[in-house]
Amino acid sequence: MCIRDRYKDRGVTLDRLSFLWEGRGYRKQFKLSLKTQIYTDHAYPLTLKVLRNTGAISFDEAKRRLNEYVDCRVGEEFGNSWDTHWFHMDFQIPKEWNAAAEEIHLRWNSSSEAMVYGPDGKPLQGLTGGSRDDYVIYGHGKKDAKPGDKIAFFVEMACCGLFGNFRTGDMLSGLDMNKKFKLKECRLARFDRETWELLYDYKILMDSAKHLESSQSARADEALVLANQVVNICKPGKKETYAECRELIKKFFQTKNSEAQHTVYAVGHCHIDMAWLWPFSETRRKGGRSWSSQTEIMKQYKTFSFCASTAGLYEWVQKDYPLLFEEIKKYNKEGRFQHVGGAWLEFDGYVPSGESMARQMLYGQRFFKQHFGSYCNVFFLPDTFGYSAQLPQIIRLGGMKYFLTQKISWNRYNKFPHSSFYWKGIDGTSVLTHFPPADTYCGNGELHEVLKSQTNFKDKGRSNSSLYLFGVGDGGGGPTFEMVDKLSRMEDIAGIPKVKLGSSVSQFFKDMEASSKNLLSWDGELYLELHNGTYTTQANNKKYNRMCELLMRDAEMFAALRSIYVDKSSKNYPKDMFDDVWKKMMLFHFHDVLPGTCIRLVYEVTDKEYPVMVDKLRTSIKQSTKALAEHLLEKHVVRDGSRNTLVVFNSLSYDRKATIEWVSGGIKHYTKVQIKAFGCAAYPERFLLENEIKQNCSTVQDNGKYLEVETQLLKIQIAYNGKIHSIKDKTTGKEEEAMREVIAPGEDFSEGNTLCIHNDVPLYWDAWDLWIYYQESKTVLDAISHSVDVPENGDRICIEFKYSINATSSITQTMIIYMDKKKIDFRTVVDWHEEHKVLRVYFPLNLRSDFVTCDIQSGNLRRPTTANTSWEMAKYEVCSHKFVDYSEGSYGVALLNDCKYGYSARGNLLGMSLLKSSKAPSEVADMGRHEFTYSLYMHDKNFESSDVAEEALELNIKIRKQWFSTNLTEAKHFQFVEAMKPNVVLDAFKLDEEERKHVVMRVHENMGAECCNRIGFGFDVKKTAEVNILEEPAAHEWELVGEEAENSKSILKTTKNEIFHKMHPFQILTFKVSPSNLSN
């Protein structure tokens, strides 16, 4: 009789198998399940005491206050959310356990996260109610105590679950700040290893019967027959039945795979979000709890290996748990606790600047090298919401050659075609990339996940191995004993991919690189077709990030210039302050913090910290520029307190024209000036008065329907409701009919600067998503009043519009139209108190192109305006930094901004997301006052020949000015570094990390055009080198002077104060320059 006759209903038989595994709800006394027989005898604490509501205190303090502890009992509740309670307990292990006991465990379940400490303060292991409830005291290779001994523990109970504290477990239900946690269990228990081993043998057999059916039906049937026989024979708790059961299971395990079978490298991992549904302070403790649990597994399972990224978390563990950190270092030397990732933390892949990403690599790799002796070679970013097309180059310059992620498996519309491939960035740099085909970084060690690693692998025939990351993640926790035991049994069983435990992420890539053939490439960004609301949510956070990134650029530059020109040393270079601010900035780059997807407690911290960081950077800039100005004007400075000379600094890499607004005698003046690239100018007040703008050449007329504004370059019609009806470019024709019209009616919008509110109710992931159907509902906003200001001696016209959204929300917008610029600024103040709405602005343009050019990290990227394919359609909202340019032929329009990131471009309609109002996980996201500026800039060239990038920089980087008392009678100009090619942009100018007697200068090519560039310094240079982001030789000798520079990949020639170098499109170059007069 065939098996299908014997088991007419396969489903019933499979369901029956689960009795032996978990009892299917029957109580323990029925003895149907092996799982219920793991723990037999129990011993309860002699004393159990608690120190309540301590907040986050150290172990030493908790132990010092032992006389304050009071009695408590199992069954009591403890709270409130995020608070801390310290427990102390004494046990005596029963002597009668001596003969029979194989293992003794501490069992603790407080319905929350907790950490077990020994009496000496050593963190022993993390515990989490429901997923990790036991700590091994005796047995399985451990002998912390034995039967008859007295033993004591401290337990730090954190009032939080792995995934935060919500009212109903649903993020939309809101935070429950008064949540209570019940102490359900505190006891010693005798652990039955023999039952455990049979249980997990049976688990693999049972799962084989369930999951091999689709691909290995014969093996599935074999497993089903054997598993059913085991159920018939096994009597849980009666060990005399176990041997026959294990022999039956052994028959299934003995059949091995062929050499051609797919290999799965299984590496433990514990994804810990630096903040998400819990505050930063809780993450510090999650690190200790999670990683101590992994070192505990390593003591008992010699084949277990574990990887962890995030240098910033290692630093927290080093500070908070020094004994644990030393243990981690020990296992790291053995290759079992592996550092991966290279970055300070797992940052957002779209919003941080290129320089911010570079610093993530610099700080992260330096930490790993210092404490573990080596750099990472795998960039590890499994859970962020899209990946910039500039990342491959940044990864390679950060000392890594491999990349791992899996988030693109979350795509909504298109399935990504590769698992192992080469990812190529906008400059042509490639990194070998792997997407684990199990589509998770939090595997549970289950057979169906291992099988998916094979069945979902998309590059069969080119490669035959994949990586599988297992362990409880996001909220920490990591691998458990159960996971290791399941995977260890799958090492080589016919029909199941070969599971390789004990290897490393790095070894997987090396083996895959060596054995694979003809891997394919993916060129450009890795766009996630989900979570595109993260470009907009928590707007204040993104604004401060942009502000800090650009302030840091200037603060480092002016501090370095001060060291060179004024101090001749680094004595006043505020390296400690820079490190502190950078580490906070990098922390806030985390892939839930910067995207805006954390609970409000997280943003209460960032809202407090960001202004302090801004103040520190502004103070540093002011101090450095003051010292530089006084040094440069030393012969002219007087101490009469007259403040009669304005010194203006330009940190950009090109000569900058600007209109300075200044006040004298209570009267506002406007003077046009020009400041050299990387330079400054001193203007006596007399010069400013003599050269001030005498007459505003712009006019505004009210024709009864529109406000008609005319400048030297534009003719504009503005409706009373704040929308722009027409913009005509006067430079394109003498007669009005010949002038180019910028605004063109579209299908949805007919005027420019149309402010619109859409309903924003995602299918799921409230703060994360902006679903495509938001476009189907809209409320167009109309201004209810306007006022016009035309300064007589200014260079602009200002028109203020007021909008009333409803009784609680409003907008005040000032439209600034310049006399001699083809640019309109929209300075906007919003009082925002909406729910599930998104505020956007639209410009229908009289242009046609099938792409727009988007500003990204250290370069730009073309994205489609068409929706011909599902891949194009999915990009209905994209991330861009300071601008998006829409050009055709020799004319274009750019939409600039000072703090926004979410754009849309479909047909001729250019749109930008301004504010979002999600209600989960933060119920107050974006509520309150917002200030931002966006600009419309017209240019009569194609993008590559235009000055769009310069205009965007000038909107974001302000000139620095200070008043001094001098006897100057005419303007004086100074230059520290000479202007570079227009397409070469400075990202950083700082002192080096090690000695602080070299200047590190980083530039990038911004237009996708190869060029040769000259950098001229205002100081003599002893030596020059090309280095990588880590400030180490760029794969060749670093001391390059004169003709020796021929050894460089990029440097063509150097002199005592010049570098001549070449750049390929979108290349990032870093130079290490040694000024002759700078010492440390």
Residues involved in catalysis: 383
CA distances from 215 to 207, 252, 464 (A): 13, 17, 17
Closest Cα to residue 1068, out of 863, 854, 885, 857? 857
* Distance (Å, whole) CA 5 – CA 1: 6
Closest CA to 476 of 293, 298, 335, 265: 293
Cα 199 to Cα 379: distance, rounded to the nearest angstrom? 38
Q: Kind of pairing, strands 785-789 and 779-780? A: unpaired
Strand boundaries in 981-1038, DSSP class E: 984-991, 999-1005, 1011-1016, 1021-1027
Give the H or E element holding residue 803: strand 796-804
What is the spatial distance between Cα 933 and Cα 828, in angstroms, rounded to a whole number? 6
DSSP code per residue over 309-338: --HHHHHHHHHH-HHHHHHHHHHHHTTSEE
Cis peptide preceding 595, ω within 30 of 0? no
Name 114's bridge partners: 127, 157
CA dist., res. 203 & res. 197, Å (int): 10
- Are 729 and 714 in contact by the 8 Å Cβ rule? The answer is yes
According to the 3-state scheme, what is the secondary structure of 925-956?
CCCEEEEEEEEEEEECCCHHHCCHHHHHHHHH
d(CA 419, CA 62): 49
Q: How far apart are CA 587 and CA 379, in angstroms?
A: 17
Euclidean distance between the first and the last CA atom of the chain, given in angstroms as a whole number = 88
- How many Cα atoms within 13 Å fall on the side-chain side of residue 761? 5
What pairing do the DSSP bridges indicate for beta strands 851-856 and 150-158? unpaired
Question: How many C-beta atoms surround the C-beta of residue 387 within 10 A?
Answer: 22
Report the side by side order of strands in the sheet with 420-424: 378-380, 402-404, 430-434, 420-424, 521-523
Q: What is the CA radius of gyration of the chain?
A: 33
Structure tokens at 290: 């999670």
Cα separation, 295 vs 330, whole angstroms: 10
Q: How many residues comprise the chain?
A: 1080
CA 998 to CA 1002: how far, in whole Å? 13
CA-based angle 1012:1018:1021, to the nearest 5? 75
Q: Which of 752, 756, 743 is nearest to 782 (CA)?
A: 756
Question: Is 389 within 8 Å of 587 (Cβ atoms)?
Answer: no
Instruction: Output DSSP code: residue 146.
Output: -
Alpha-carbon distances, residue 871 vs 417, 421, 526 (angstroms):
12, 19, 11
Q: Is there a contact between 1034 and 1028 (Cβ–Cβ < 8 Å)?
A: yes
Q: What does the block give as tokens for 593?
A: 């913090």
